[in-house]
Amino acid sequence: MDNKDLIAEVTAKAEKWLAPAYDAETQAEVRRMLDNPDKSELIDAFYKDLEFGTGGLRGIMGAGSNRMNIYTVGAATQGLSNYLNKNFKDREQISVVVGHDCRNNSRKFAEISADIFSANGIKVYLFEDMRPTPEMSFAIRHLGCQSGIILTASHNPKEYNGYKAYWDDGAQVLAPHDKGIIEEVAKVSSVADIRFEGNKDLIQVIGKEVDDEYLRQVQGISIDPEVIRRQKDLCIVYTPIHGTGMMLIPESLRRWGFENVHCVPEQMVKDGNFPTVVSPNPENAEALTLAIALAKKLDADIVMASDPDADRVGMACKDGKGEWVLVNGNQTCLIFLYYIIKNRLATGKMQGNEFIVKTIVTTELIRKVAEKNGVKMLDCYTGFKWIAREIRLREGKEQYIGGGEESYGFLAEDFVRDKDAVSACSLLAEICAWAKDQGKTLFDVLMDIYVEYGFSKETTVNVVKPGKSGADEIKAMMDNFRANPPREIGGSPVVLVKDYQALRATDGEGRASALEMPEPSNVLQYFTADGTKISVRPSGTEPKIKFYIEVKDTMGCAKCYDRVNVAAEEKIKAVRASLGI
């Protein structure tokens, strides 16, 4: 299709949004795009429909079929309502939980969704104000609901919003329900199909009562309360980056027994514009600037941050030279699981049926920790719905004690089925108290792990390709990697290739074997003779392709860290050169 045909197509599509069924504000925005001689904005807003995928919706807010607005959110909720009414038709009363974060329009989208559910005869538990995603997950199980949604775009820039759908186990929707919901959403072909007029009798506002029970259960995952009593003055700096974490994380730390918690005042302000940061992502050093400045002033022991919907946790600590450094997502997951395993063993809490979970792109050092300590470790796809699946499959037979992914998500409990920064921040504080009780810092704990289990350095390279042309480029890159797999990377021969789309592993001699995974996924992995692991996957929620690089070394002592770290950086440069990124 040439540009003239594309403009004609999107113009015809946009003109339908000028009908009386659409509100005046939407019509004005569409008219503005139609009248603009530059048609790039019109094309991006209408060249496709914002797809309701297995992760729900996520996109830039605004008018258009490819945007987050009351009509795309409405269609998603109507489709989900239709699916729930079909799937649970014998149930006297179907119920759902509706939550939202701090973003612009999140409350509006949540209230409209509540109206649509109730108009379809479904009882709604609507949170009174913004709440963390993990609490919404908890509430589904706690209130005995069949589904739940949260309006959030996680750590994306302020222009974005999103819609995530959950099932009755509190986890994001998996097969067969994901495909079933997608089909029902696709059937909602016009605004007239959406039942916007709510039934207020079916909407119940919830808040403190759920908060209290959730925080009570979070407090129950503490492994060593005695060490907290001894180190209750641990100096903690916390920032919610304007988001939902402010509602529960300071209170959770207090309930765990920490008495010296300092919140960054400028960021304890609910604001969907995130005025103090470039991006509200705790993975980025810039987002922790104010927190680290406060930590330096107070000579704090730890800095912790949660993203806008408080499911991810970022952290910083002082290194061996007393300088504040960020702890990356792989290190975060590694430290959590090391502490949980080591201290459950030390306190006699292991029963022998425990298991942990990591995603396939997360550091392989976790496998070494698990194997050495006799704990089962499972690998799954990226995304906490897959970790939740492993928990569900083993429920009542084996005990989940922790799991995480490199993208700063961790879950220490099984009463929530998504990553949880509320429990993670609380457990992180306990880890720091345990370290301080031994005269150590969090950085010292990380050095102990590297000395005992080997050194690993990880980096993620995001190649951003926005818009329709970007999506085509990403597909072409994956096709090329499959057609022309690298024989060596960073000077080391490739000894194993895993293609999760074909569900096939191929070794250096060309011998193939099956990969046992629940379904195909568009991920490629390369393992080299020197222990390097590279994973390549297009993002499911953002216009980018991600390269996860992990390189290995040995580290004889904590003082060797600088040397092996520099060597690892050089190896990563060589890997990137090999991959052309």
Instruction: Say how far residue 65 (Cα) sits from the centre of its chain.
Output: 25
Give the integer Cα–Cα distance in Å for 137 and 161: 19
User: What is the token pair recorded at 201?
Assistant: 């009798």
Active-site option among 81, 154, 306, 521: 154
SS (H, E, C) 183-207: HHHHHCCCHHHCCCCCCHHHEEEEC
Do strands 354-359 and 376-380 pair parallel, antiparallel, or not at all (unpaired)? parallel
154 as an active site residue: the answer is: yes
User: Which of 121, 164, 168, 119 is CA-nearest to residue 143?
Assistant: 168
Please tell me whether residue 55 adopts helix, strand or coil conformation: coil
The token duo for 167 is 């099932």
Element (H, E) at 339: helix 329-346
C-alpha to C-alpha distance for 400 and 409, rounded to whole angstroms:
16
User: C-alpha 157: how far from its chain's center?
Assistant: 14
Q: Are strands 544-553 and 455-464 parallel, antiparallel or unpaired?
A: antiparallel
Strand 409-411 relative to strand 399-405: parallel, antiparallel, unpaired?
Answer: antiparallel
Are the C-beta atoms of 191 and 160 separated by less than 8 Å?
no
Q: In whole angstroms, give the CA distance from residue 264 to residue 289.
A: 10
Q: Are 106 and 130 in contact (CB under 8 A)?
A: yes
The tokens of 80 are what? 């989900």
Whether the Cβ atoms of residue 421 and residue 253 lie closer than 8 Å to each other: no
Dist CA 150 CA 131 (whole Å): 9
- Mind telling me the catalytic residues? 154
